[in-house]
Structure 1
């Protein structure tokens, strides 16, 4: 069971038409709805479950620029600006704090890796730097173990995943967007090759533009249109503790654990490195696309067979069948967390921060990260299907980048000047022979 998410008021039934239909109520979808509605665009967002029910509420809550692929950095910079004003934008505190993030280094190899990122980031490195000694120790209060160095970005921050997307959704509603929950989109319709609307479980909505922001479901939605969208999911486990006094205030990654201080005073803890990919038919279909990632960034991703191969969100079941679609049969993806992995991560963290010993465990959960072969998202119109825009494949970076991604999608839909150059995020790079590979292992 996922963490408790702030509720979003239910809307009435679906309208017959809208300018834009957004599929997916994660942080990308609701941010897109907010920026479109503020421009006077008629927008309907359809979410098969509830807002932020999947990865948008299950992630670590990091809002970071540090360690990101250089292609993402301009968008991340804009996202952090939007996070700065988020409380004013949505009218409530979503926990955003520029409390800093650390990548803790144990070896010279770790330090060299971080220095390499600083070189590649160039001017976008901004205040990121290597720190050590007393300066580093001061950022780890309660720590009983020293680290050789760390890559540190003071201006990076954190926010509360269970609060942020719902708050943005409510702001979008106040701006005029219609957000319909428990309403799965079964298919996207076309006329003369162009998007003409969507068919939902509640009926048809006519529209001249459709945005696929379905997270782990996006590849399947694209396949229903005959579009090849290479995307696989990674199952990541997370836990949270009860509030505890003292300890570091920000967030950090180390070999064996990662943490974020929560607004409620507890900690979100994860392994930081090891995750799992549940093998599904798409694993074989996209194997060639993901081979570079398997040799690099996915070396610590375990492969597992199980029931998802047959009836999971990317399994063998058809998109529609009988009286309900696969989207309705899976209102909220809720994979089981790896309890042993999380206990190991907590034990690793307790070895460094003994004050955590005895602090109650409140909850464990898992979620599916939607990954692309180069670990960079698709945020783009589809040339072969006029009126269709895809925003997916954020590869574990979607929460922090979400507000700016939504703003960019709104720009692409309306034809306004894009917030940043959208070329690095184009869909066609995955079908035109472009060699794609991640440029960072962080």
Structure 2
């Protein structure tokens, strides 16, 4: 079971038409809805289950620029500006604080890797810097482990995933967007190379514009349109603790643990060095697409052959009708957390910070990260189908970049001047033979 989420009120009435239908009620889809509704368009958001019920509420809660792929940095900076305005934008405190983030280094090799990022980030590195000695120690109060150095960005921050997307949803509804929970989209209708309508489990909505922001489900939905989207899932496990009165502020990533202070005084804790991929039929379908990043990250990757593979094979054998109903069969994807990995990470954290020693674990959970072969998202129109915008594949970056991604997607729908150059996020790069060049892991 995922963490408790602030409730989102769903509309009972299905409109017969809308300027835009957004598929997916996570932070990306909801942010897109907010900016479109504020621009005066009629917007419907269809969510197959609970708004923000999947990765949008299950992530670490980091809002960072540090370490991002250079192609993402202009959009991340715009997203950070929107996070600064979030309180006034949505009328609620979503916990955003610029409390800084540390990447802890145990060796000169770690330092060299981060210095390489500083070089590649160029002017977008802003206030990121390598620190050590007393400067680093001052940011790790109570630590009994001495780290060689760290990459530190004071302007990076944190927010509350269980509050942010629901707050954006409420603001979108206030601006006029219609939010439909427990309303799966079964198919997208087209005619003459353009979007014409969507068929939901509640009925049909006539529209000329669809935004697919369905996270890990996006590839399956697009396949029904004959569109190939290489995207796979990474299972990310997290635990949260009770309050820690004298714990470190902000967030940090280390070789054996990662932590982020929560608004409630507790901490979100994970192991950021291991990635778990549940093998599914798409793992074979997109194997060659992901080979470059697999070669780069294989030391940190674990494959799990189990229930997801069998379920995927079963759906495939039952044909297209069963595939459409799969969205309704799994209202909220709730993968099992790796409690052994989490417990090991928490034990390592306690060695470094004894103040955590008697702090209870409140909950374990897991979410599914939607990853692309180059770990850069798709935020793009689609040349083959007029009226379609895809916003998916955020590769673990979706929460922090979410408001900026939603703004960019809304610009693309409207044909407005985009907030940043959308070229790095174009869909066609994944299907036209462009060489995949991942610079970060997922």
TM-score range, shorter chain: over 0.9
Alpha carbons of 1:31 and 1:76: their partners in 2 closer, same or farther (altered >3 Å)? same
- Map of 2:23 onto structure 1: 23
Matched, 1:69 2:65: no
The question of whether the paired residues in 1 share the 8 Å contact of 2:231 and 2:372 is answered with yes
- Map of 2:249 onto structure 1: 249
Q: Secondary structure at the match of 1:345?
A: helix
Distance in 2, matches of 1:16 and 1:390, equals: 23
What aligned pairs does 1:29-428 form with structure 2 within 5 A after superposition? 29-312=29-312, 316=316, 321=321, 325-428=325-428
Q: Secondary structure at the match of 2:316?
A: coil
Distance in 2, matches of 1:399 and 1:298, equals: 25
Alpha carbons of 1:318 and 1:214: their partners in 2 closer, same or farther (altered >3 Å)? farther
Q: Can you list the C-alpha shifts for 1:13-59, whole angstroms capped at 9, x where unaligned?
A: 21000000000000000000000000000100000001100000000
Q: Secondary structure at the match of 1:28?
A: helix
How far off its partner does 1:275 sit? Answer: 2.2
- Map of 1:6 onto structure 2: 6
Distance in 2, matches of 1:317 and 1:270, equals: 36
Q: Secondary structure at the match of 2:237?
A: strand
Q: Can you list the C-alpha shifts for 1:133-188, whole angstroms capped at 9, x where unaligned?
A: 00100000111111010000000000000000000000000000001000000010
How far off its partner does 1:314 sit? Answer: 10
The question of whether the paired residues in 2 share the 8 Å contact of 1:61 and 1:400 is answered with yes
5+ long unaligned stretches in structure 2: none
For this pair of structures, how many residues does the alignment match?
442
Distance in 2, matches of 1:226 and 1:138, equals: 55
Q: Secondary structure at the match of 1:40?
A: coil
How far off its partner does 1:244 sit? Answer: 1.1
Q: Can you list the C-alpha shifts for 1:61-95, whole angstroms capped at 9, x where unaligned?
A: 00000000000000000000000010111111000
Distance in 2, matches of 1:228 and 1:246, equals: 50
Distance in 1, matches of 2:112 and 2:56, equals: 32
5+ long unaligned stretches in structure 1: none
Of residues 17-26 and 297-306 in structure 1, the stretch that sits farther from structure 2 once superposed is 297-306
The question of whether the paired residues in 1 share the 8 Å contact of 2:315 and 2:326 is answered with no
Distance in 1, matches of 2:383 and 2:435, equals: 19
TM-score (norm 1): 0.98
TM-score (norm 2): 0.98
Distance in 1, matches of 2:180 and 2:240, equals: 30
Distance in 2, matches of 1:324 and 1:429, equals: 27
| CA RMSD in angstroms, aligned pairs only | 1.4
